Structure formats: C-alpha cells, structure tokens
Homo-oligomer: A and B are copies of this chain.
Amino acid sequence: MSTIHQAQIKNDSLFSLGEKGLLHLLTGHWKTDSAKVMVGVGDDCAVLRGEGKNHFLLFKTDVVVEGVHFSKKAKPEWIGRKALSRALSDLAAMGASPVAAVITLGLPANESVRRVGAIYRGMEQAAKKYMVNLVGGETTRAQQLFLNVALLGECRGYQPVLRSGAKAGDLIFVTGRLGATQARRHLVFEPRLAEGQWLAQHKLATALMDLSDGLGADLPRLAEASNIDFYLDEKAIPLARGATLSMACNDGEDYELLFTTSPSHVKTLKKKWPFVTPLHCIGVIRPRRKKPAAPEFAHGFDHFKQR
C-alpha cells in the first residue's frame, strides 16, 4: 500500500478534482492481498474470497446525508428505505444476495426522536423485504443527519459479475426506464436484486453495474473498466414518465441495472427473462478508440462539481 503522491496534489481544491477524482486520489493506489481479495476499489462492491471456489463475500459502504441525498422534508420512512436500498442496489449490480448490514447514524442533538424512529422503520421494512439481517448499529452526534449502511452480501455457487468484462460486439441493456428521478423515485426505487442474481447465475451478463450517477456518467465508467468504447442508440433509451433524454442521462439515482451481453446470448436473455421489469437494448460495445465517445450532454451527477 503506497501513500498518495504529493505531486498529484497540485490544486488543493475539491471543486477542481470532483468526486471521482478525489476518490481516485485517495484510494486509487490501495493494494490488497490477492489470496483474500478478488476485487478491491473500483467496482460496485469489493469482492472477498469465501470458502471454496464458488463462494464470494461482497462488501459495501454507502451513506445518505441530509441536504445532499435527501431533503429535510422527505418522508422519514423513505429516507431509511433509500439508505438501505442504495447499498442493496450495489449488491444487485454484481449479482449478489444480501446477508447482513450494520448502520451508523449521525444526528444533531436537537433532532426529533420520532423522526429518527420513522427513518429506522423505513429501513427495517426494506430489510425485511430483501431479507437483510440488521446486526449492529451505533449513533453519534453530528451537525447534519446522516445514515451510513455497511452491507455484506454473497454469491454462493456462482461468480459475481464485474464491470470489466464487456467485449467488442456485446450489446448494452438497461432494466426499467430512466430519468425524472428527482421528485420521488430517488427515494422509493426497488433495488434490482432478483434481476442481478438471475443474470449472474445464468452467466448472461459480461459486465454489470447499477445506474447511480446517471447513464451519462456510469456507462463511460463501465467502458473504462472494460477498456472498450460504446455506441448508444439514443432513441432506444427507455424514458421514465416525464423524462427527457438529457434527464435520462444526467439525473442520476435511477438504480436500474446496466449490463452487456454477448450477441450469442441475446436470444436466450430475451426469451428467458422472467421479470416484469422492462428490458431494453440501448447500444453496442465497440473496440477502444483513442478518445472515449461520451456524448456532450451526458455528464452525470457529481457532489462536489455540480452544487
């Protein structure tokens, strides 16, 4: 594990780095013990080796902060639901099943206990629905309410699907419909756990991730991880009610699955897809050119750069 290279820190400002740049600066050099760790930083979850050849533990941390990920006026039950569901979506993004979660709550000393109770009720309902064991928690004083979820999942009998497996010629699919997430959908989405598990168990996805920052930010990440380019058929992008193409690319917080599949598997995929969740082919993977081809309007969401 080397330390951050001082020369990298030229401009001492988060605005110029952005969220992704900061994360890369802080964690990009982390090295892990390959006997224990299959995937470290850079995918939706870390993947640890379990017992035997086909058992993997997935590990994720995710936080929601008042005023950043939800407004003070949001229905408290939905805040708790969102906090857990976001982390669950990251398990879905690798095809894993949830095992257990531990929760950190930060809150101002004048916060209403009733409101916090309602936040936890929403989280507990989601935990029950998706069979997550809530096994531990702690609270701390803070200026601003935040809820951190650390989640452990597993793939038992099959391999998790990484972001890095897309190949030239693969077709690009999304579940559900994108955009117009800001009013309500960013709070009450359903993590696509069953869909992700099915894709992984049937080996029908070559690369898989969830859409948390918007197609315009997330598809280029998949492309970079897989070292390929892509062609998007903009007309094929499924728009949620009230969404424009720009919203579908940039709103973020769709929490739908984005995946690639080999052309030889497309027929099976479409025929056997057992879910009511819509499935749309939106493009194709191309060999890597020198410069990535993200459309101009597609930038996705960045905490530090945008607000």
Interface residues, chain A, with chain B CB atoms under 8 Å away: 1, 3-4, 9, 11-15, 17, 19, 22-23, 25-27, 30, 32-33, 36-37, 39-41, 45-46, 48, 50-52, 55, 57, 59-63, 65, 67-69, 99-100, 102-107, 109-114, 116-117, 120-121, 124, 127-128, 131, 133-144, 146, 148, 150, 152, 303-304, 307
Given known A-B contacts A4-B121, A102-B150, A40 and B133 have beta carbons under 8 A apart: yes
Contact of A144 among B23, B32, B57, B144 (CB under 8 A): B144
Complex contacts, A11 vs chain B, CB 8 Å: 113
**Shortest distance from the beta carbon of A215 to any chain B beta carbon, whole Å:** 20
Chain B CB within 10 A, most for which of A15, A99, A136 = A136
Q: List 8 A-B contacts (CB under 8 A).
A: A9-B114, A11-B113, A12-B112, A14-B110, A27-B134, A62-B104, A65-B106, A109-B304
Tell me if A's interface is mostly helix, strand, loop or mixed. Answer: mixed
Complex contacts, A142 vs chain B, CB 8 Å: 65, 68, 144, 146
When chains A and B are docked, how far (Å) is the Cα of A127 from the Cα of B1? 9
Complex contacts, A103 vs chain B, CB 8 Å: 27, 61
**Shortest distance from the beta carbon of A24 to any chain B beta carbon, whole Å:** 10
Nearest residue, chain B, Cβ from A14:
B109
Identical subunits present: 2
Complex contacts, A33 vs chain B, CB 8 Å: 131, 133
Given known A-B contacts A61-B136, A63-B140, A105 and B26 have beta carbons under 8 A apart: yes
**Shortest distance from the beta carbon of A186 to any chain B beta carbon, whole Å:** 15
Question: In the complex, are the beta carbons of A124 and B1 less than 8 A apart?
Answer: yes
Question: In the complex, are the beta carbons of B303 and A41 less than 8 A apart?
Answer: no
When chains A and B are docked, how far (Å) is the Cα of A296 from the Cα of B111? 30
Contact of A63 among B27, B50, B106, B111 (CB under 8 A): B106
When chains A and B are docked, how far (Å) is the Cα of A138 from the Cα of B136? 21
Chain B CB within 10 A, most for which of A67, A148, A304 = A148
Nearest residue, chain B, Cβ from A11:
B113
Question: In the complex, are the beta carbons of A12 and B114 less than 8 A apart?
Answer: yes
Complex contacts, A114 vs chain B, CB 8 Å: 9, 12
20 further contact pairs, Cβ within 8 A, besides A48-B152, A61-B148, A143-B143: A1-B127, A4-B117, A17-B113, A23-B138, A23-B139, A27-B136, A33-B133, A37-B100, A37-B135, A40-B135, A40-B136, A59-B102, A59-B150, A61-B102, A61-B104, A61-B137, A63-B140, A65-B140, A68-B141, A146-B146
Question: In the complex, are the beta carbons of B140 and A26 less than 8 A apart?
Answer: no
